[in-house]
Amino acid sequence: MKTFNVPEFYRSPIISKIKQYRKVQDPRKKDNSPTLLDFGPVQYLIARHFGFCYGVENAIEISFKALEENPGKRIFLLSQMIHNPDVNRDLSERGVLFLQDTHGEQLIPFESLTSDDVVIIPAFGAPLHVIDLLEAKNIKTASYNTTCPFVERVWKKSESIGKDDFTIIIHGKHNHEETRSTFSRSDRHSRAIIVRDLDEARLLAEYIKGSRPAEQFAIDFNGKYSASLDLSKDLQRVGVINQTTMLATETQEIADFFKSVMMDKYGAENIALHFADTRDTLCYATNENQDATYGLLASEADLAIVVGGYNSSNTSHLVELCERKFPTYFISSEKEIADRYTIHHFDYPNKKHLTSTGYLPERQPVRIILTSGASCPDSVIEGVIHKINSFYEGIRPVEETLRALN
């Protein structure tokens, strides 16, 4: 796989050593058990896969390249490049301006842009109407387009099934940048509906079966469907794609559910006419990180710490998985760890910050599950390790701990 020129301050000697060790020991990526990092009083169970993915490293390289190649020019990001506060702050401090916030609300009017400006397209992509607007201003969006290739793969799938006249069901969060970008393309090729979870899938199924009044649809799916959608005919042929960072098992469950709905209505012998049997369109990193988290669940530990941006979808699903077994704390960096007794963390479902005390047990060794989302720099994970280690006496030196891996 291609390697990228990522700034050194995002890297970590500790994490690089762990990843290299696992790469040598498990080149085919068959072993999802965690790596034990034993510092004596504290033991960390590090996920087999975590941190920067291909798409994120690609986006970072292109963004820093844009800064290097355009001294003196105004450089804009359409929105957050990735969902990590440290990376976005780094770019902002280097002079990059943000045109929109993460929800698509305008921060700087498009009218102020000129053909001399540089606009970076984020890793999530951009809705087609925005691309058209920028191109009309003679801004060459292809020059610094950091769209993840795995997101583009989903777009190709939506185009393919849309051209076969299937209505496209998108499993995703309707206000997420990636889902908005995917919806715009699905809407152009066919009709599209966004479902957040299995509950919304079941709700949509009532319209497919005709058991819910059509006039209620606009209320139930407000802002989540194509204006051209005709309930009387456009729910007879459907296919499922997804936001690449959703929970893989949930996407599969939703796809299987809609397939069963269409089989019940039209018969198993006619299913190919009514359901586009798309393969899973999650990215490899989302799959690997989630599989590695299931590997963590097979371990015994006192708590789990998941690190990433609080608006990061893929990170939120790692939190969701860890919470099935462990007391879990979702933090953005080591700065959220106040001291030995207090930690500030994020409640993703309710979108609120929490403060907990007594998160570290008194006994030793303390065993901590540690992982991060695909947009979290390794240096941040190392920062968490050093911060927690600082609370204990008798911590083994890093060099000794890493030697024990071999």
- Strands of the 118-120 sheet, one edge to the other: 97-98, 75-77, 118-120
Given a cut of 80, is residue 234 above it in pLDDT?
yes
Q: Fold match between 8-53+284-403 and 54-144?
A: no
Indicate which residues carry an active-site annotation: 178
The predicted pLDDT at position 154 comes to 94
CB 146 within 8 A of CB 177: no
CATH, domain 150-276, list 3.40.1010.20, 1.10.1740.10, 3.30.1490.190, 3.20.10.10:
3.40.1010.20
DSSP 147: -
Confidence grade of residue 396 (pLDDT, cut at 50, 70, 90):
very high
The predicted pLDDT at position 81 comes to 80
Given a cut of 70, is residue 371 above it in pLDDT?
yes
Residue pointed to by tokens 């506060």: 85
The predicted pLDDT at position 102 comes to 84
CATH number for the domain whose boundaries are 54-144: 3.40.50.11270
Which of 219, 63, 210, 201 lies closest to 145, judged by CA? 63
Q: Report how far residue 121's alpha carbon sits from residue 131's, in angstroms, rounded to the nearest whole number.
A: 9
The predicted pLDDT at position 287 comes to 82
For the record, the structure tokens of 277 come out as 């049997």
The predicted pLDDT at position 2 comes to 66
CB 385 within 8 A of CB 14: yes
DSSP 397: P
Beta strands in 172-235 (DSSP E): 192-195
Confidence grade of residue 1 (pLDDT, cut at 50, 70, 90):
low
The three-class DSSP label of residue 371 is strand
pLDDT per residue as tens digits for the range 103-136: 889 999 999 999 999 999 999 999 999 999 999 9
Instruction: Give percent helix, percent strand, percent coil of the chain, each to the nearest 5.
Output: 45, 15, 40
Confidence grade of residue 283 (pLDDT, cut at 50, 70, 90):
confident
Domain regions of the chain by residue span: 8-53+284-403, 54-144, 150-276
The predicted pLDDT at position 395 comes to 97
- The lowest-confidence range among 77-81, 206-210, 297-301, 377-381 is 77-81
The average confidence (pLDDT) of the chain is 93
Instruction: Give the mean model confidence (pLDDT) for residues 7-15.
Output: 92
Given a cut of 80, is residue 279 above it in pLDDT?
no
Name beta bridge partners: 37: 44
The predicted pLDDT at position 313 comes to 87
CATH topology of domain 8-53+284-403: Cobalt-precorrin-4 Transmethylase; domain 1 (3.40.1010)
pTM, whole model, 2 decimals?
0.87
Instruction: Give the mean model confidence (pLDDT) for residues 165-174.
Output: 96
pLDDT per residue as tens digits for the range 318-349: 999 999 999 999 999 999 999 999 999 999 98
The predicted pLDDT at position 4 comes to 73
For 212-354, where are the alpha helices, taking DSSP H only?
Answer: 217-220, 248-266, 271-274, 284-297, 313-322
Name beta bridge partners: 38: 43
For the record, the structure tokens of 15 come out as 């994490």
Given a cut of 90, is residue 99 above it in pLDDT?
yes
Q: Quote the percentage of the chain above a pLDDT of 90.
A: 82
The predicted pLDDT at position 280 comes to 65
The predicted pLDDT at position 132 comes to 94
Given a cut of 90, is residue 281 above it in pLDDT?
no
CB 310 within 8 A of CB 346: yes
Answer positive or negative: Cα dihedral of 27, 35, 336, 173. positive
Given a cut of 80, is residue 297 above it in pLDDT?
yes
Given a cut of 90, is residue 83 above it in pLDDT?
no
Instruction: Give the mean model confidence (pLDDT) for residues 23-36.
Output: 93
Instruction: Give the mean model confidence (pLDDT) for residues 96-108.
Output: 91
pLDDT per residue as tens digits for the range 173-221: 999 999 999 999 999 989 999 999 999 999 999 999 999 999 999 999 9
Cis, bond preceding 365 (omega within 30 deg of 0): yes
31-36 contact pairs (CB < 8 A, 24+): 32/291, 32/292, 32/294, 32/295, 33/295, 33/298, 33/299, 34/292, 34/295, 34/296, 34/299, 34/369, 35/405
